Structure 1
């Protein structure tokens, strides 16, 4: 059964980098779509969300490397943790654990996303701006 997610994109979610902000806007849209999916749609929409998130994390890492972001290893390791988490959720979802995937989308990801955006992503975007990017 779908769970209505109370996360909507707004300007307070922007970090001031066009690439990151565009990705974040799409992340929120795909997250809401997957969280609102019925049981039949959930596996495909979760996979779409997870693919986007992995691509987004990779784009952030490219930016960090291109602009010499000093705490890159810390930010990268957090991305690696999220990728491992996504892998585990996808494995369980493939075995039919819809409740775990739905709980991840509605309870874990929104809190992580806002915290990550407010800390690591904001610091990354600020560094890139200071470097002229």
Structure 2
């Protein structure tokens, strides 16, 4: 199990992005510890948060003219589609798959995405005066 714990070393230097990232990490931790009865509602909360979080990042990229916006958005779209599939599988009763996604796939994706695409985005925004 990949357990993320939020600390200042996880920040990318943009207040909006950092707040979303912290909330996401905290939601993942709660869901990872949840019992089977609590888990479906927590996955729904993670999904809602992540969709809103990604939309905010995309708006920041558009506002600041981030040149590789299409590449970054494509990755967001891929994760949205993947998340939708996990939600459908959970609704069909596949709790184990959904738990694995929350405990392993999402944390691993988040760290890689934050350290590459999100860090570059935050750096660009800062360079643009944002």
Q: Same fold (TM over 0.5)?
A: yes
TM-score, normalised to structure 1's length? 0.95
Unaligned runs of at least 5 residues, structure 2: none
**Do residues 30 (structure 1) and 27 (structure 2) align?**
yes
SS at match of 1:33: helix
**Do residues 52 (structure 1) and 49 (structure 2) align?**
yes
**Residues 31-89 of structure 1: CA deviation (Å, up to 9, x unaligned):** 11111110001110000011000100000000000000000000000000000001000
CA distance in 2, matches of 1:7, 1:69: 28
Task: After the TM superposition, list the runs of 4 or more consecutive aligned residues in structure 1 that deviate by more than 4 angstroms.
Answer: none
User: Aligned Cα RMSD in Å?
Assistant: 0.9
Deviation at 1:20, TM superposition (A): 0.0
TM-score, normalised to structure 2's length? 0.98
Name 2:113's counterpart in structure 1: 116
**Do residues 41 (structure 1) and 68 (structure 2) align?**
no
**Aligned pairs, how many?**
130
CA distance in 1, matches of 2:68, 2:112: 17
Deviation at 1:5, TM superposition (A): 5.2
CA distance in 1, matches of 2:75, 2:10: 19
